Amino acid sequence: MARVLLKNVTKKFGNVIAVNNLNLEIKDGEFMVLLGPSGCGKSTTLRMIAGLETPTEGEIWIGDQLVNDIDPTKRNVAMVFQSYALYPHMTVFGNIEFPLRMAGVPKQERIKKVKEVAEFLGIADLLNRKPSELSGGQQQRVALARALVREPQVFLLDEPLSNLDAKIRTQMRFELKKLLSYELGITTVYVTHDQVEAMTMADRIAVMNKGILQQVGTPDEIFYKPKNTFVATFVGSPPMNLIEGSIVEKEGKILFETEYFSLQLPNDVPKAEEAILGFRPQHVEVSLAPKEGYVKGNLLGVEKLGVENYGHIGYGHLEIVVRLPEEIRVTRGEIYWKPQENRIYIFDPKTRRAIYG
Amino acid sequence: MTPKEREKLIRRIWIVITYVVLITFALVYLMPFIRSLVASFMTWAQASRYPPEWIPHPFTLENYEKLFRLELFPRWIRNTALYAGLIVAGNILFASMAGYAFARLKFPGRDAIFSALLSLLMIPMFVTLVPNYIIIYKLGLIDNIFGLSLLGLTNVSSIFLMRQYFMSLSNEIFEAARLDGCGPIKAFFYIALPLARPALGAVAVYQFLGSWNAFIGPLIFLRSPENFTLPVGLSFAFQRSMWTEYTPIIAGSLVASAPTIILFLVLNKYLIRGIVITGGKG
């Protein structure tokens, strides 16, 4: 078990900067999720920790060892690939045994360890099958077993759930977390573009975009204290509403003004000629009748997701999404809304950074 | 006639046309084989008659008898088998290693070397015949099956086929092997080679067919009759100073082609896969 430290790590492919000056520490035993859209550099970062890519600049430390020049065969990190990358010509037993065989572990011990880990993951009855005879979920477990069997210092997972169907994915999500964090306590780096996976599994999340680390924090920090508009909109579903306008003081009140409406904000919000107001669809109060401080809007339509319904409210080019309380059943017409005061964010339109909230 | 019946009729006519064309071409390609089969039971006088006759009269087994009366016939078969065996073994060993290196390893000049190798395909065999002869002569290996085999132990098209196959394998499997503690050489033996069985099968079949039937190489590099391979031996045995006895040669080539025909029937899926491999990803 070990911590992983990335110091000023940059990776260039020709002229493309895949990872730009990344600094990140993954603590001993921590479950770190690298989250971001495709092409954000999260997989490249993972591959650099594994040693499959060499950083153009910077240092990568595993434990107390600088590993930049250490071959992946000697790093003692294990990785689960998106495609699982099982060896198709070997049985499940052969697959799990393989890293031990390569490490020169004696045969009796190998058999014992493979059986142990297979038992642990509930695949002991599959040991004689070939990977092609397994379901996606079973292949996934074999890939996990192969990675776990040699007790790696660091455990790397590259979108391991994306090839599973929705039901098994939800189930495996919790199982993986339980296994890696609660039962084994292995230092884990998990790459995903799925924010639900990130939120449910991570001890901490590192959000990346275009090769640049946007924010590192616990799921709560990422959700409730986003540092910029990218994090604010990437995490959370539906994404946070962002509205451009200005913040002015009138008759002792702080108001957020757009060409369509004005909205009263808490008194400690700083004034700004240009600002972006942000609030999540879940943090809005909605009413069918006019109320003091509520903004009138025209409901364009409703997305029904079962328990939750989201209304789209239109203002010219601008569209706002709000969660509708269960008792509101209308799908069109006039509606009144107001964001909860303690759940609003103000971003600087130039730097896109949060300045309030 | 209803439109449906019309459609059916048109389809039927098309099928008939397709079959007629296919059968015609099949006959064209089969003709030499059928002709050899028939001629092998004829006397030379009848076989050389014009216009050609198709029914052996008198029916004779003399050609086959002549063939099996040849003292060196079993020896030639053994030589041919040895030659083919060496060529197949050499190609499997060297082409798989070279193909793996070109597909999976990174080394300076890799693509340039590979292009240079490919350009060798454009050089006709006859151009390199004399230099090759000189090399083998200097090595003192003229008139020696091993010397002859040395020239064919590896082959650009085998390397190309193996490289294409290794490139078509998933990268992630090799990366997984690397993380499991497998260097490039271990990865070759534990991962690449077992996965390459279809491609190795294709290389083996092609090389076997090529070397079993080879004529020019053995003709030039082998001298004494006891070292001949079957194709050279047959033409040697029945060539007289003024004329050639073709009918025993024909019988001999039929006997000689038996293993290749059996091999083709048993392994033709590998042959086809070989074509698919090279034609697929480029």
For tokens 């079959």, what's the residue?
B19
Q: Which of A243, A247, A239, A245 is nearest to A223 (CA)?
A: A239
Angstroms from A238 CA to nearest CA on chain B = 34
- Checking if the pLDDT of B24 tops 90, the result is yes
Q: Inter-axis angle of helices B246-279 and B3-39, to 10 degrees? A: 140
CA B55, B60, B65, B66 dihedral sign is: negative
Q: Does A191 touch chain B (CB under 8 A)?
A: no
Reported as a single tens digit per residue, the pLDDT across B232-254 is 998 888 877 777 788 888 898 88
Which residues on chain B place their C-beta less than 8 Å from a C-beta of chain A? Answer: 170, 172-173, 175-183, 186, 190-191, 194-195
For each successive 10 residues of chain A (357 residues), what is the average pLDDT? 90 93 94 93 94 94 92 90 91 95 93 92 91 89 91 91 84 85 89 92 94 95 94 92 92 89 88 92 91 90 87 90 86 89 92 89
- Checking if the pLDDT of B281 tops 60, the result is no
Query: Which positions in chain B touch A142 (Cβ < 8 Å)?
Result: none
Query: How many CB atoms lie under 10 A from the CB of residue B218?
Result: 22
Neighbour-count burial of A130, counting CB atoms closer than 10 A to its CB (0-12 exposed, 13-18 middle, 19+ buried): middle
CA distances from A242 to A64, A296, B150 (A): 44, 17, 75
Of residues B135 and B260, more confidence is placed in B135
User: Do B173 and A85 lie within an 8 Å CB cutoff?
Assistant: yes
Distance CA A80, CA B176 (A): 8
- Checking if the pLDDT of B48 tops 90, the result is no
For B180, nearest residue in chain A (alpha carbons): A99
Distance CA B220, CA B119 (A): 25
Looking at the domain that runs over B70-243, which CATH code has it been given? 1.10.3720.10
Q: Are strands A241-250 and A253-257 parallel, antiparallel or unpaired?
A: antiparallel
For tokens 């306008």, what's the residue?
A245
Reported as a single tens digit per residue, the pLDDT across A191-211 is 999 999 999 999 999 999 999
**Extents of the domains making up chain B:** 1-60, 70-243
- In degrees, rounded to 5, the angle at the alpha carbon of residue B159 between the alpha carbons of residues B157 and B165 is 105
Q: Mean pLDDT, to the nearest integer, of B51-67?
A: 87
Distance CA A22, CA A122 (A): 38
Query: Which positions in chain A touch B182 (Cβ < 8 Å)?
Result: 73, 98, 102
User: Do A87 and B182 lie within an 8 Å CB cutoff?
Assistant: no
**Residue B252 DSSP SS3:** helix
**Residue A10 DSSP SS3:** strand
What's residue A1's pLDDT?
62
Tell me the pLDDT band of B279, cut-offs 50, 70 and 90: very low
Distance CA A61, CA A4 (A): 6
- Checking if the pLDDT of B181 tops 80, the result is yes
Identity of the residue in B175, B186, B194 whose CB atom sits nearest the CB atom of A52:
B175
Query: How many CB atoms lie under 10 A from the CB of residue B97?
Result: 17
Q: Does A77 touch chain B (CB under 8 A)?
A: yes
Q: Does A337 touch chain B (CB under 8 A)?
A: no
Token pair of A230, please? 């990218």
CA distances from B258 to B212, B264, B274 (A): 11, 10, 22
**Residue B130 DSSP SS3:** helix
- Checking if the pLDDT of B25 tops 80, the result is yes
For tokens 């151009």, what's the residue?
B127
Q: Mean pLDDT, to the nearest integer, of B143-150?
A: 92
Angstroms from A74 CA to nearest CA on chain B = 7
Residue type, B183: G
Identity of the residue in A72, A87, A150 whose CB atom sits nearest the CB atom of B173:
A87
Distance CA A198, CA A173 (A): 10
For A98, nearest residue in chain B (alpha carbons): B180
Angstroms from A133 CA to nearest CA on chain B = 17
Query: Which positions in chain A touch B180 (Cβ < 8 Å)?
Result: 98-99, 102, 146, 150
What's residue B275's pLDDT?
62
Write phi, then psi, for B222 (nearest 5 degrees).
Answer: -110, 145
Tell me the pLDDT band of B16, cut-offs 50, 70 and 90: very high
CB A89 within 8 A of CB B195: yes
User: Do B180 and A89 lie within an 8 Å CB cutoff?
Assistant: no
CB A337 within 8 A of CB A215: no
Identity of the residue in B173, B179, B195 whose CB atom sits nearest the CB atom of A72:
B179
Longest dimension (CA), chain A: 83
User: What burial letters (b/e) apply to B171-186, b meaning 16+ CB within 10 Å?
Assistant: ebbbbbbbbbbbebeb
3-state secondary structure B2-55: CHHHHHHHHHHHHHHHHHHHHHHHHHHHHHHHHHHHHHCCCCHHHHCCCCCCCC
Token pair of A189, please? 């780096």
Q: Does A72 touch chain B (CB under 8 A)?
A: yes
Q: How many CA atoms lie within 13 A of A179 on its CB side?
A: 16
Identity of the residue in A52, A71, A99 whose CB atom sits nearest the CB atom of B180:
A99
Of residues B243 and B41, more confidence is placed in B41
For B186, nearest residue in chain A (alpha carbons): A102
Reported as a single tens digit per residue, the pLDDT across A148-157 is 998 899 999 9
- Checking if the pLDDT of B111 tops 90, the result is yes
Q: Does A74 touch chain B (CB under 8 A)?
A: yes
pTM of the model: 0.80
Q: Does A99 touch chain B (CB under 8 A)?
A: yes
User: Do B179 and A89 lie within an 8 Å CB cutoff?
Assistant: no
User: Do A89 and B177 lie within an 8 Å CB cutoff?
Assistant: no
User: Do B178 and A79 lie within an 8 Å CB cutoff?
Assistant: no
CA distances from B46 to A103, B38, B52, B92, B249 (A): 73, 11, 8, 46, 15
